Amino acid sequence: MLTLIRSIIFFVLLVITTTIFAIPMFTIGYLMPYRQRCQFANAWGRVNLWLLNVICGLKYQITGWDNLLHREAIVLSKHQSAWETIALRGLLPPEQAWVLKRELLWIPLFGWALAAAEAIGIDRSSGRAAMRQVISKGIERLKQGRLVIIFPEGTRVAPGTRKRYGMGGAMLAEKSGYPIVPIAHNAGVFWRRRGVRKYPGTIQVVIGPAIEADGKSAAELNAQVEEWIESTVAALPQTAD
């Protein structure tokens, strides 16, 4: 019961902090240099990570920071919960371009703030057109010195289960020549994809070595990323502390 109460308190505060950060982001944010907008968005992520620790006892531990030496790269991350959308925004270098379904950009306040951060909103139902958009916009963002962040599974997947990895990130790497940095974690053990409770413990995050795109097909890159992420996730704790 205490875990549930703490989780509800955190959720209320998450709504409040999102509102506080989103309003200036989409109103006066466009008047700010892009990097400052990104730093403001990172502050939102860090505040909520701190609240998770203080209220829910949910911490994190990251290994492999040195593997993010590439300033411009395609980050492909495991997607198990809402935690990583907060954590990656808050912890990774600030200039980020997220690839996400365009419907998220229509959500009042939160979606408008995403638009101000220049996320790449795609129409998943458009098939090849969506892929072309990921490639064209992704290359544009990479050339601007940003990280392009993609969840290749496309949706949250419960711990212990797998979903086919989409080809968007691998195709972007093949066409652009930029490296892929894979990220594995076990956030879904503590913050379940459809659960309210946030269980205390320490989320393990592993940033993998950059996977160079030169000489590899998109299919080869995708298979390499999936194998590394899934095998790394399988080796992480699968129960809360």
Q: What is the mean pLDDT of residues 25-46?
A: 93
Residue 65 lies in a domain: yes
Distance CA 9, CA 27 (A): 28
- Res. 134: pLDDT tops 90: yes
Q: For residue 127, is pLDDT > 80? A: no
Residue 107 predicted with pLDDT over 80:
yes
Q: The domain containing residue 138 runs over which residues?
A: 2-234
* 167 part of a folded domain: yes
Tally of structural domains, the chain: 1
Is 239 inside a domain boundary? no
- What is the per-residue pLDDT for 69? 76
Confirm whether 241 is domain-assigned.
no
Q: Where are the beta strands (DSSP E) in 139-200?
A: 147-150, 180-185
**Are the C-beta atoms of residues 152 and 228 closer than 8 Å to each other?**
no
Largest CA distance in the chain: 54
Residue 20 maps to a domain: yes
What is the value of pTM for the model shown? Answer: 0.94
Q: Is residue 126 over pLDDT 90?
A: no
- Give the CATH number, domain containing residue 24: 3.40.1130
Is there a domain that residue 209 lies in?
A: yes
Average pLDDT score, the chain: 94
